[in-house]
Amino acid sequence: MQPIIDFITSPITIAYIVLIHVVFFALQGAAAVLVLAERKVAAFSQQRLGPYRVGWWGILQPIADIVKLLFKEELRPKAADFWLFYLAPVISATTAFAAFVVIPFGPPTDLFGLLPKPINLQGMDVNVAVLIVFAITSMGVYGIVLAGWASNSKYSLLGGLRSSAQMLSYELSYGLALASAIVLGNSLSLRTIVDAQQSTALGGVLPTGWFLWPAFLGFVIYMIAGVAETNRAPFDFPEAEQELVAGYHTEYSSMSFALFFLAEYINMVTVSAVATNLFLGGWHWPFPLAWGWGFGVLNWLLKVSFLLFFYIWMRWTLPRYRYDQLMTFGWKWLLPAAVVNVILVAAGVIYFS
């Protein structure tokens, strides 16, 4: 009994528990900030101001949105299957959060000397981390399929089927782009891949170790497949307002809709976070780590924010793909490009070593 109590109350365990809570609540905060950021970026790219009444410069707008969603009435179509209808948003949100457990966001640190030995800034350090992210992302398809089916309505079913077919098609290119980064990093653990990208030139000014440079095509394929996986523009035909009412989440309201919304934004954050760790060097540039571990986390946050801005920018700039154009692009252009990319990267690794 005593060893168990010693284990539970040791500083390391408490630090990990606090870390997991921090990650969980930071993700929810990120989703809230993204709601505001999306509306502001959309407004500025359309030459208007966006939300600016609620709080200074619209900062409190997400809180207003959340309060509105909480107070709405929760509706369910009578003919909808009760269990599946309420299970679908739970699956979407759970897989979105679960994928973040294995993503590291900073160098190993001992929190200013509070801990006896350094902990990893990561939920769990496994040596198949990349595959776990891929596996949990592929489980996210179920939330959408079940939502489309359980709503028992034409728009939802069509939207759900199209959306899940799109996600499955782009998962292949997603996995192959991941494979090219794995080949370069020589490991499946995200921490090892990030640490392999730390070489710089000109005394820390130029990031030459990034896997972005040798695998540039892989990065482009990964971002395109990531955007298609999260059902964002220009690949958001299945949930477009003009075509399908709202696709698979037509019949949902209040908290269930909020869960789908949350899941979509957190999937965006996950794709950006994995892209940062695999291609953009994680926490290694621009501020050097010698200044402290906090600057490592700041580096990482800067890169993820840049990729999220890129996501939102793309949504309000590019027109939407039609569904058959989307599927043709995924199977006939992106998948062969991803295969060629893996072959070239593997050949390059063998040739230059």
Partner 1 sequence: MIPLETILFYLFGAATVASSLAVVTQRNPMHSVLFLIASFAALAGLYINLDSPFTAVTQIIVYAGAIMVLFLFVVMLLNAPREDVPSPYGPAYVTLTTGPRKAFALLSVVLLVELALAIRQFVSAQAPSGPLAAEHVSSVRQIGIAIFTTYSLAFEATSVLILVAMVGAVVLAKKKL
Binding-site ranges for partner 1 (CB under 8 A): 81, 83-84, 87, 126-128, 131-132, 134-136, 138-139, 141-142, 145, 149, 157, 161, 164, 168, 188
Taking the complex as a whole, the smallest distance from the CB of residue 25 to partner 1 amounts, in Å, to 26
Token readout for 210 is 């990034």
Report how far apart, in Å, the C-alpha atoms of 181 and of each of 126, 153, 171, 232, 329 are. Answer: 17, 42, 16, 23, 22
Output 65 or 195, the one with its CB closest to partner 1: 195
Taking the complex as a whole, the smallest distance from the CB of residue 28 to partner 1 amounts, in Å, to 25
Output 182 or 307, the one with its CB closest to partner 1: 182
Query: Cβ contacts of residue 86 below 8 Å, gap of 6+?
Result: 76, 256
Taking the complex as a whole, the smallest distance from the CB of residue 277 to partner 1 amounts, in Å, to 18
Separation between Cα atoms, residue 236 and residue 238, nearest integer Å: 6
Taking the complex as a whole, the smallest distance from the CB of residue 87 to partner 1 amounts, in Å, to 8
Taking the complex as a whole, the smallest distance from the CB of residue 241 to partner 1 amounts, in Å, to 24
Taking the complex as a whole, the smallest distance from the CB of residue 102 to partner 1 amounts, in Å, to 11
Q: State in Å, rounded, how far the first CA of the chain is from the last one.
A: 53
The per-residue DSSP string of 44-73 comes to HHTTS--S-TTTGGGTTHHHHHHHHHHHS-
Cα-Cα-Cα-Cα torsion 179, 184, 186, 191, nearest 10 degrees, comes to -90
If you search the block for the tokens 């408490």, which residue do you land on?
A: 14
Output 150 or 308, the one with its CB closest to partner 1: 150
CA angle 219, 233, 164 (to 5 degrees): 85
The per-residue DSSP string of 83-100 comes to HHHHHHHHHHHHHHHHGG
Token readout for 182 is 């794995």
Output 30 or 193, the one with its CB closest to partner 1: 193
Query: Cβ contacts of residue 206 below 8 Å, gap of 6+?
Result: 200
Output 81 or 110, the one with its CB closest to partner 1: 81
Whether the CB-CB separation of 341 and 176 falls below 8 Å is answered with yes
Taking the complex as a whole, the smallest distance from the CB of residue 128 to partner 1 amounts, in Å, to 5
Taking the complex as a whole, the smallest distance from the CB of residue 187 to partner 1 amounts, in Å, to 9
Output 41 or 132, the one with its CB closest to partner 1: 132
Taking the complex as a whole, the smallest distance from the CB of residue 341 to partner 1 amounts, in Å, to 19
Output 101 or 139, the one with its CB closest to partner 1: 139
Output 106 or 140, the one with its CB closest to partner 1: 140
Output 188 or 220, the one with its CB closest to partner 1: 188
Alpha carbons within 13 angstroms on the beta-carbon side of residue 78 total: 0
Residue 109: strand pairing partners: 119
Token readout for 23 is 């990650």
For residue 319, what is the DSSP state?
A: P
